[in-house]
Amino acid sequence: MATAKLVQLDGGEGTLEVPDALVTGRVHQDLLFRAVQSYLTNQRQGTHATKTRAQVAGSGRKVWPQKHTGRARHGDRRSPIWVGGGTTFGPQPREYEYKLPKKMRRQALLSAIRDRFQSDRVVILDRIEFPEGPKTKAAIALLERLELPWEEKSVLVVVSGEEFGIPVKKSFSNLPKVECMPAMSVHTYDILKHEWLVLTAGALKELATRVGLGEGEGTVNGDGA
């Protein structure tokens, strides 16, 4: 088990033991690329379409006789060479889905978490809660106490499923460079597009389970533990 610093919501500090595989090990750059490519590709709707000459409105009558006019031979005005005619080889609706195997998705997520740990851009909290309801000021005060440059750098706040309620979600929603989401919904792309990662102890356990490290149970020590 590796030891990480744990910041407690009430102001104390302690330590948290996390699985070594989350902190040390190889960061698979190729898997990170594939995971991001898969995520962005799957966002494409694929609803783009153009009309062929069979679909555009217009008469099928020949515009002028084939011979004896001195002009080029033409068919109807739905031909692609006429203004308002059909489009040749234009885009048609299609499915862009690019799905990675489950093991590759797990390893990509694990590599993204490792990258943030190894670059020392992870902050771990024992929990996040706003008992008085959604308050942006409370969220800002928390980020500033963690000494995070949330106004200049993007921050991803990941909480457990139990913590992800309206008070927590809405408290961060007005901060343009801060995003909050539950651990079970985090994608590799979400971690990579933000420069800082804030995790709660509960979220860390859920992420450990997602990447195949069992329950990810850690031992908490320190003030108030």
pLDDT tens for each residue of 174-219: 999 999 999 999 999 999 999 999 999 999 999 999 999 865 444 4
What is the model's pLDDT at position 213?
86
Instruction: Give residue 220's pLDDT band: very low, low, confident or very high (50, 70, 90).
Output: very low
pLDDT in tens, 50-90: 999 999 999 999 999 999 999 999 999 999 999 999 999 99
pLDDT (average), residues 147-170: 95
Average pLDDT, integer, range 87-101: 95
Q: Which CATH code fits 2-44+99-222?
A: 3.40.1370.10
- The pLDDT mean for the chain works out to 92
Mean pLDDT of 127-148: 95
Q: Return the domain boundaries, the chain.
A: 2-44+99-222
Residue 223 pLDDT: 39
pLDDT of residue 1: 82
For residues 157-182, average pLDDT = 96
Residue 33 has pLDDT above 80, yes or no: yes
Q: Look at residue 217 in the predicted model and tell me its pLDDT.
A: 43
**What number is the average pLDDT over the span 94-106?**
95
Residue 45 contacts by C-beta under 8 Å, 6 or more apart in sequence?
Answer: none
Q: Is the pTM of this model over 0.75?
A: yes
- State the Rg of the chain over Cα: 27
pLDDT of 224 above 70: no
pLDDT above 60 for 119: yes
Give 33's contacts (C-beta < 8 A, 6+ positions apart): none
36 in Cβ contact with 50 (< 8 Å): no
